Structure 1
Amino acid sequence: MAAITENYQYVGFWERFAATMLDVLLILLITLPLTFWLYGDKLVNDHSLIHGPADLVINYLLPPVLVLLFWRYRSATPGKMLIKAAIIDANSGGRPSMRQWLIRYLAYIPATLPLCLGLLWVAFDPRKQGWHDKLAGTLVIKQNKSRTNNSLQES
């Protein structure tokens, strides 16, 4: 893989952690009320993982769809937008492909399984890449105006 020559300010662990916590809160603000509205007391009394078809859609399909849509059209989730970060292709510095977005999302699974080591990796990696970034070939950088107006706005 050819390294990009432009210097970027990589977003570190704590900023990314804060952005992720905001994203989780926003997702919960959408999914919890819908789930409680549909299933009510069944959520408290029934300890199954999936309470019905709507639960499957709301809690297991909607969050990945929302994240992938934000990545595709904004190169960031709301939390990353708040800290003025963007996800870019590690080779070209441009917008990642849909294939990269899917790999990045699915790569959260191996990144979290061994005690979240793949996410903590961001703190020690020179380019602040977690395993999900390495597997997808992406970087998380601080956005600046010239970057926003040039390569990230390209479709």
Structure 2
Amino acid sequence: MSENKYAGFWLRFVAYLIDAILLNCINWLVIFPVMGAIGFGIGATATGFDFDTMSEGDIIAMATAVGGMLFAGGLIGTVINILYFTLMEASKYQATIGKLALGLKVTDMDGKKLDFTKALIRQVGKIVSGIILLIGYIMAGFTEKKQALHDMIAGTLVVKK
């Protein structure tokens, strides 16, 4: 593959923004009903909580429930995100909706389609790319093949079709 076929940082960033908007909508469609089912819907907040009349135990229980709900919502959102990126990039399209919109696809180092395992490794590698102050993502702007750290970990490329 010639160097001019690699997708650089900014193209990948815009593709991610498209995917992020889509995923936020999907996540809220899943998480809001779960919140409502456990009592944190609009009705619960409309009645309000009177902390002056609540016992200390009630306040602690409420804080624990809210913390648990936030953790569960974050976990559900993370699973949805990982599955979305993994399944889309391992599909026949080799791209998420954002990448498809910009004419990009994800391949292995030989230009072949990713299998599920390699696509999953790429997604887990994104945790590493993000945890080091996003430097793993920024690397895509400076490496020869426009690879981010997670691409190097998984042995993948993002290319223009």
TM-score relative to the length of structure 2 = 0.74
Provide the identity percentage.
Answer: 27
RMSD across aligned positions (CA): 2.4
d(CA) in 1 for partners of 2:132, 2:85: 23
Equivalent positions of 1:6-155 (< 5 A) are 6-7=1-2, 9-40=5-36, 42=40, 47-48=66-67, 50-51=69-70, 55=73, 58-73=76-91, 74-90=93-109, 92-143=110-161
Shift of 1:58: 3.8
Q: Count how many residue pairs are aligned between Structure 1 and Structure 2.
A: 136
TM-fit CA distance, 1:52: 7.7
Q: Which runs of 5+ in 2 are unaligned?
A: 46-61
Q: Which one has a bigger Cα radius of gyration?
A: 2
Could you tell me how far 1:99 is from its partner in structure 2?
2.2
**Deviation at residue 49 of structure 1 after TM alignment:** 5.8
Q: 1:87 to 1:49 in 2, by over 3 A?
A: farther
Contact 2:107–2:114 under 8 Å retained in 1: yes
Unpaired runs of 5+ residues, structure 1, are 1-5, 144-155
TM-score (norm. length: structure 1): 0.77
